[in-house]
Amino acid sequence: MALALTAAVRPPVVRRQVVPSLSTEKELWDEGCEVVVGVDEVGRGSWAGPISVGAAVLPRDRRVYKVRDSKMLTEPEREHIFPRLAGWCAAWAVGHASQAECDELGMSAAQKLAARRAIEGLGVTPDAVLVDGSWDFVGGVRVQKIVKGDASCLSIATASVLAKVTRDRIMRAESEHFPGYDFELNKGYPCPRHKAALAAWGPTSIHRRAWVFMDHIPWGGVPRLVRDDGQGALWDE
């Protein structure tokens, strides 16, 4: 009698979701930093619209639950939690650098400009700033860089949601002026329909016109912006 061979069934791997916490903020508070600001950017990879930076100062005595990195939430979820976060923060602001400033300054400088505007908009002086990622785009104050901070640090996660919702609203408003580009859906980021619209009609006045991707699309009434690095190369970041 043949023996039936059965494959070993492995139990499914359960991945524990990282929940943003106040552990880093508490360490800084214990060190005497009264004003700790979480900072995150949105829109750097977009082809149109501003780059935006959110800044959030959280209270020590109250919590808002179910805060996550903005990328982990759907658009309706972000819109739902936005007023709760805005009312919860001790201070918050979103700074922007326009499409024109992105073109004229370059993305790194434009991100620094948006961050400066966000910090200035808080109305308080930071003792420490927590930034998402490995690059200090704030400067001028004690800065702690946290890789994937939007997933692990509560003030950065809060700033990411505030920045994302604010910028998304700007792009939805812009979509009314530029039908066919689906800005209300793609928020200026590249996708098949956005690329098809660019191929058919060319860029709008809110597209970043110094980027290399603009080399391969038709041009209408909006002038092409070309930057030279001194060696004959187009500027691109």
pLDDT at 138: 97
**Nearest alpha-carbon partner for 67 in 34, 96, 92, 102:** 92
pLDDT at 212: 75
Give the integer Cα–Cα distance in Å for 136 and 129: 10
Give the integer Cα–Cα distance in Å for 77 and 161: 10
Give the integer Cα–Cα distance in Å for 109 and 194: 26
Give the integer Cα–Cα distance in Å for 67 and 60: 16
Q: Do residues 151 and 157 touch, judged by C-beta distance below 8 A? A: yes
Question: What's phi and psi for 118, nearest 5 deg?
Answer: -65, -45
Which residue pairs from 205-208 have beta carbons closer than 8 angstroms and sit at least 24 positions apart in sequence? 205/99, 206/48, 206/49, 206/99, 206/174, 206/178, 207/47, 207/48, 207/99, 208/46, 208/47, 208/48, 208/99, 208/102, 208/103
Q: Are strands 51-57 and 91-97 parallel, antiparallel or unpaired?
A: antiparallel
Side chain identity, residue 172: R
CA 108 to chain centre: 14
pLDDT in tens, the chain (237 residues): 444 444 455 544 444 557 888 999 999 999 999 999 999 999 999 999 999 999 999 999 877 766 765 677 889 999 998 999 999 999 999 999 999 999 999 999 999 999 999 999 999 999 999 999 999 999 999 999 999 998 899 999 999 999 999 999 999 999 999 999 999 999 999 999 999 999 888 899 999 988 777 777 765 556 666 655 543 334 344
pLDDT at 232: 37
Give the integer Cα–Cα distance in Å for 188 and 42: 11
8-state DSSP, 31: T
Q: Spell out the domains of the chain, with CATH numbers in brackets.
A: 23-175 (3.30.420.10)
Give the integer Cα–Cα distance in Å for 199 and 175: 18
Q: Do residues 51 and 146 touch, judged by C-beta distance below 8 A? A: no
